[in-house]
């Protein structure tokens, strides 16, 4: 059974008024338990709307979201539980920090879930560990942390809810390369350890190529592609048409092929490209 299933998802803002705007139309897909899904699309393609529908922050005008096989809006009063199960990290999540200490801030979600002190404490500590926040930082004010630490503290606040599905909306935006690399590997590590499902929204094709199993491509509120990372990036022309790129390294291999060098173009990382070229030279 798929962990998330979207069926005919449609969202229309201001229906029936002169401001009517279709943000999402008839989107269908299924995500399997344990998958790492990259979500791409240019600004305004419906990515943000889609992820907010998946955890019940928005209600679809038509269609259904199934989480673990259950319609999330079946009991509207229990929508909060859906949000705990499908944890959402927004863009620039550090702007949501508010507590006196980092510890309390991370504990906000677990407390809202009604967990016991002990369980909350366990969750806070393990979440902080996943994002690499040192223990002494837990008792500092979140406003005294550095930019990168704030970001990680905010992400820990969602991880602490131990969601089955973790949705990250451009978690690396605005970070420097160091902060970005550290955060990406922490997310990968978390995914490996917890074996849960991750939906990762990003504008960086290089990052998406590095970590996703499958990629969902959105365009003008519709699903354009949903396929394995290799298959998606094999469709360079299609992606370019909707204002997206392929990773530079993939592009280089494709350009080589065009110039008559018979290399494999299903290349997503520098390492793969390096091996492919060494192989080619060897034969």
Partner 1 sequence: MKNFIEVRNVFFKYGESEESSEEKYVLDGINLNIHKGEFVAAVGHNGSGKSTLAKHFNSIYLPTTGDVYVDGINTKDDERLFDIRKKVGLVLQNPDNQIVAGIVEDDVAFGCENLGIAPREIRERVYNALEAVGMYEYRKHSPEKLSGGQKQRVAIAGIIAMEPECIVLDEPTAMLDPQGRQEVISTVMKLNRELGITVILITHYMEEAVLADRVVMLNSGKIILEGTPKEVFSQVELLKKHRLDVPQATELIYQLRGCGYDLPPTVLNEEECVDALMQILKK
Partner 2 sequence: MVRDVTLGQFMPGHSLIHKLDARSKILLLIAYIVFIFLSENYFSLALITVASLAVILLTKINFKFYLKSLKVILFVIVFTGILNIFYGSGTVLYEWGFITITEGGINNAIFVIIRIAVLVMISSVLTFTTSPSDLTDAIEKLLKPLSVFHIKVHEIAMMMTIALRFIPVFLEETDKIMNAQKARGADFESGNVFQRIKALIPVLIPLFVSSFRCANDLATAMECRCYNGGNNRTRMKVMKFSLADLFGLMFSLLVFAGVILLNLYLPAVVR
Tell me: does residue 238 bind partner 1 (CB under 8 A): no
Q: Which does 83 bind (CB under 5 to 8 A by kind): partner 1, partner 2, none?
A: partner 2
Q: What is the DSSP string of 52-81?
A: HHHTTSS--SEEEEEETTEETTSSGGGHHH
Q: Which does 16 bind (CB under 5 to 8 A by kind): partner 1, partner 2, none?
A: none
Nearest residue (CB) to partner 2, 97 versus 217? 97
Distance, in Å, from the CA atom of 229 to the CA atom of 147, rounded to the nearest integer, reads: 31
Tell me: does residue 88 bind partner 2 (CB under 8 A): yes
Tell me: does residue 49 bind partner 2 (CB under 8 A): no
Cβ contacts of residue 249 below 8 Å, gap of 6+? 206, 209, 267, 268, 269, 270, 272, 273
Out of 19, 177, 195, 283, the only residue in the binding site for partner 1 (CB under 8 A) is 177
Contacts (CB under 8 A) with partner 1, residues 2-61: 42-43
CB atoms closer than 10 angstroms to residue 130 = 19
Side-chain half-sphere CA neighbours of 25 within 13 A: 6
Distance, in Å, from the CA atom of 65 to the CA atom of 8, rounded to the nearest integer, reads: 9
Nearest residue (CB) to partner 1, 67 versus 224? 224
Nearest residue (CB) to partner 1, 104 versus 203? 203
User: For partner 2, which stretch binds (CB under 8 A), given 65-73, 89-97, 235-243, 256-264?
Assistant: 89-97
Name the minimum Å distance from CB 229 to partner 1.
16
Out of 36, 84, 130, 233, the only residue in the binding site for partner 2 (CB under 8 A) is 84
Distance, in Å, from the CA atom of 182 to the CA atom of 180, rounded to the nearest integer, reads: 6
Residue 121: exposure state from Cβ atoms within 10 A (0-12, 13-18, ≥19): middle
Out of 146, 185, 231, 279, the only residue in the binding site for partner 1 (CB under 8 A) is 146
DSSP label at residue 218: E
Q: Which does 171 bind (CB under 5 to 8 A by kind): partner 2, partner 1, none?
A: none
Q: Enumerate the H helices of 131-199 as residue ranges.
A: 147-159, 177-194
Nearest residue (CB) to partner 2, 106 versus 217? 106
Are the C-beta atoms of 10 and 61 separated by less than 8 Å? yes
Residues near partner 2 (CB under 8 A): 13-14, 19, 52, 55, 57, 80, 83-84, 87-90, 93, 95-98, 108-109, 112-113, 143, 157-158, 161
């Amino acid at each position: 059974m798929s962990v998330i299933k979207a069926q005919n998802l449609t969202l229309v803002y201001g229906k029936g008024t002169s401001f009517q705007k279709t943000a999402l139309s008839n989107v269908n897909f299924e995500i399997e338990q344990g998958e790492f899904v990259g979500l791409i699309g240019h600004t305004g393609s419906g990515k943000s709307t889609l992820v907010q529908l998946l955890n019940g922050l928005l209600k679809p005008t038509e269609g259904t979201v199934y989480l673990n096989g259950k319609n999330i809006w079946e009991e509207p009063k229990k929508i909060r539980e859906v949000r705990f199960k499908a944890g959402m990290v927004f863009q620039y999540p550090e702007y949501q920090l508010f507590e006196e200490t980092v510890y309390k801030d991370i504990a906000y979600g677990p407390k809202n879930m009604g967990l016991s002190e002990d369980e909350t404490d366990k969750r806070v500590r393990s979440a902080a560990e996943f994002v690499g926040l040192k223990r002494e930082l837990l008792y500092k004010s979140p406003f005294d942390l550095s930019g990168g630490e704030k970001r990680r503290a905010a992400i820990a606040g969602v991880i602490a809810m131990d969601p089955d599905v973790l949705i990250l909306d451009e978690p690396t935006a605005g970070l420097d390369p160091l902060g970005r690399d550290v955060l990406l590997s922490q997310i990968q590590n978390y995914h490996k350890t917890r074996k849960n499902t991750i939906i990762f929204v990003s504008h960086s094709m290089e990052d998406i190529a590095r970590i996703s199993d499958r990629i969902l491509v959105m365009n003008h509120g519709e699903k354009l592609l949903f396929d394995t990372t290799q298959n998606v990036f094999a469709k360079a022309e299609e992606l370019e048409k909707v204002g997206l790129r392929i990773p530079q390294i993939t592009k280089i291999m494709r350009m080589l092929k065009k110039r008559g060098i018979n290399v494999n173009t299903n290349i997503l990382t520098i390492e793969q490209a390096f091996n492919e070229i060494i192989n080619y030279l060897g034969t």
